[in-house]
Amino acid sequence: MSASDTLDRKYALRLWKVLEGTAACVAVALWVTAMFLWMYYDSTRPHVADPGTGRIYQLHTHGSIAYLTQAENFRLNALMLVAGICALIAICIEAFVRPFRRS
């Protein structure tokens, strides 16, 4: 291996490490935001369904049921889905990139 190859390899590994860290941080931030929004919806949304206003989506929180609109339900589920995808990306980078490193 030449010096150029070593530098390219170090740069690529650093890039993967930054991508992994970024994906993990985004996953945690989105998950915390989703849980905050979940608790906010539970404490501020009605506990009785109202089909006239579109509040038909149930949000179960340890025995407490709040009813959300379609937009609120989508927002909450989208946050959790994107957080899960970011976490999966970080896990895949950790699992599949690290074994190829040379000491």
**Residue 73 C-alpha from the chain's centroid:** 16
pLDDT of res. 8: 81
- Domain around 23: 3-100
Of 30, 46, 12, 25, the C-alpha closest to 90 is: 25
What does the pLDDT read at residue 82? 98
Structure tokens given for 49 = 């369904």
How many structural domains compose the chain?
A: 1
Is residue 5 predicted with pLDDT exceeding 80? no
- Tens digits of per-residue pLDDT, 18-74? 999 999 999 999 999 999 999 999 999 999 999 999 999 999 999 999 999 999 999
Residue 102 has pLDDT above 70, yes or no: no
